[in-house]
Chain A
Amino acid sequence: MPLNIDPQQILLHLFNLVLLFGILYVLLYKPVHDFMDKREEEYAKREKSTKDALDDAEKLKAEYEEKILTAQKETAMERAKASAASESEREKIISDAHERADKIVSDARDKAQAEHDRLIARAQSEIAEYVSKAAEKIVMREGDIEDDFDTFFESQEVKKDNDNG
């Protein structure tokens, strides 16, 4: 054969190559490749579990945020309700106070009026008394002192009779 090409030696080389392929595949390539695949799988698994945990945490966070929002809404509503109730209570108390104050004022007015009337009446009677006394004094200056004594004694007797019965 030209160039010393020898089919037998080609086959010998081929045999050697196939043998080497088997050796390298079994002893080196497959174990290293398997190890790398396993590690990659492990890392992928870890990444997935981390991602899942992160997703769960995110979901939980969203859930809690929603709960907080709902609670805040409920609190605001309760607060508004309480505020409305207290407002109406306050208004009621104020109106009661107003009513009571009006009554007090009205009573006071009545009392004052009664006192006023009483004082007026008393003043009138006193004025009448003074007027009568003044009239008497005027009359006494013009008559007898004896008559005055007589009149006095008579009046005292009449008063005594009246007191006895």
Chain B
Amino acid sequence: MDKKKRTRFLIIIGCILAVLLVGIILTGNHSGHEEPIKLVMKDAVLHEENRINFLGIMLVNPAVISAYTVTAIIFIFALIVRLFVIPRFTDAPGKFQLLLEQAVGIFDGLAKSNSPQRNKFLGAYVFTAGTYIFVGTMFELLGIMVPATSGTAIALPAPLADINGAISMGVFSYCVILSGGIAGNKIKGALGTLKDFSLPISMSFRLFGALLSGALVTELVYYYITTSFVIPVLVAVMFTMLHALIQAYVLTMLTALFYGEVCTKEGPIEDGKIP
């Protein structure tokens, strides 16, 4: 690109940006928000105002819609992979095959290292949980708008940024741990799991707090027009990606750790078999 062309390109880009800025300033409700920031923040936590009609049956928080949308996305992706990619797997894997094998291998390895005696179900569960947390958190970045019952349009949040979603994940993980305890150690395993009754609460609220904090910071940044340029790239995208990875790792690691603890039988292992 010569100097003349470069100058023309920069002028065109500058003009487009100037027009967009004017448009943003003239059309936006920057001078007076429809909702005050306190209400926006409170609604991000409690979802009392902006609710969504779920299949015409009931009113639900936006996170429920997010959860089913994420499941639908994952289902379509998994179906395509199952039908068109997996049958073409080779012994010398390509990039995409390597990515899939790596994803399965990481969670399988996590399950095996934490629960050497019983890990088949655990591996599948941590794979699901990790995928759901990662994809669900990244889903927030898409900013899919849906009409709320209050009449405004809201962007779908991460499914786990809702307390109900986080509780369901915590409870499900706890049930998996409990099932591992019962399968591995019968009554003793069940009692061992029930002893840590605070586990589902801590798991749920850790997940909820971590994802909610990201959501709140993002809401705050987007609320004011002055912070709506450049900063969201750092705050929203990077924080979301970090949350997605960290929370997926933390929950799966904790689940695997507790599962291994309650289902492991005591006593020496003879010839690799459970005594």
Given the interface contacts A8-B58, A13-B64, does A29 sit within 8 Å of B171 by beta carbon? no
Nearest CB on B from A39, distance (A) = 6
Q: Least Cβ distance of A36 to chain B in Å?
A: 6
Number of A-B contacts (CB under 8 A): 109
* Nearest opposing residue in chain A for B125, CB measure: A21
Q: Which residues 1-45 of A sit at the B interface, judged by CB distance below 8 A?
A: 3-6, 8-14, 16-21, 23-25, 27-33, 35-36, 39, 42
Instruction: Name the residue on A nearest B170 (C-beta).
Output: A10
Min Cβ gap B18→A in Å is: 43
> Within the complex, which residue of A14, A24, A31, A42 is in contact with B168, where a contact is CB–CB below 8 Å?
A14
Interface residues of B in 119-164 (CB under 8 A from A): 123-125, 127-128, 131-132, 159, 162-164
Closest CB of chain B to A42's CB: distance in Å? 8
B172 touches which of A5, A14, A36, A39 (Cβ 8 Å): A14
Contact of A13 among B86, B91, B168 (CB under 8 A): B168
Contact residues in A for B100 (Cβ distance below 8 Å): 28, 32
Contact A5 B124 (CB under 8 A): no
Interface residue? B105 (CB, 8 A): yes
Q: For residue B13, which residues in chain A have a CB less than 8 angstroms away from its CB?
A: none
Residues of A within 8 A of B224 (CB): none
- Pairwise interchain contact A5-B169, C-beta atoms closer than 8 A: no
In whole angstroms, how far apart are the Cα atoms of A5 and B123 in the complex? 30
Contacts of B115 in A (CB 8 A): none
Taking CB as reference atom, which chain B residue is nearest A17? B172
- Taken together as a complex, chains A and B put the C-alpha atoms of A39 and B100 apart, in Å, by 15
Question: B45: which A residues are within 8 A, CB to CB?
Answer: 3
**In angstroms, how far is the closest chain B Cβ from the Cβ of A92?**
74
Residues of A within 8 A of B86 (CB): 31-32, 35
Q: Roughly how many angstroms separate A32 CA and B260 CA in the complex, as a whole number?
A: 23
Asked if B165 CB lies within 8 Å of chain A CBs, one says yes
On whether the beta carbons of A3 and B124 are closer than 8 Å, the reply is no
Nearest CB in chain A to that of B71: its residue: A20
Q: Which of A3, A14, A25 is B128 in contact with, Cβ under 8 Å?
A: A25
CB contact under 8 A between A13 and B124, given known A4-B46, A20-B132: no
Contacts of B169 in A (CB 8 A): 13, 17
- From 27 to 49 in chain B, residues with beta carbon under 8 angstroms from any chain A beta carbon are 45-48
Interface on A for B, CB 8 Å cutoff? 3-6, 8-14, 16-21, 23-25, 27-33, 35-36, 39, 42
16 residue pairs bridging A and B, Cβ less than 8 Å apart: A5-B163, A9-B164, A10-B168, A11-B168, A13-B67, A13-B168, A14-B168, A16-B64, A18-B172, A21-B124, A21-B128, A27-B79, A27-B82, A29-B123, A32-B104, A35-B89
Inter-chain pairs besides A6-B61, A33-B123, 15 sampled, C-beta below 8 Å: A4-B48, A4-B164, A13-B165, A17-B168, A23-B74, A24-B74, A25-B124, A28-B81, A32-B89, A33-B104, A35-B86, A35-B89, A36-B101, A36-B104, A42-B91
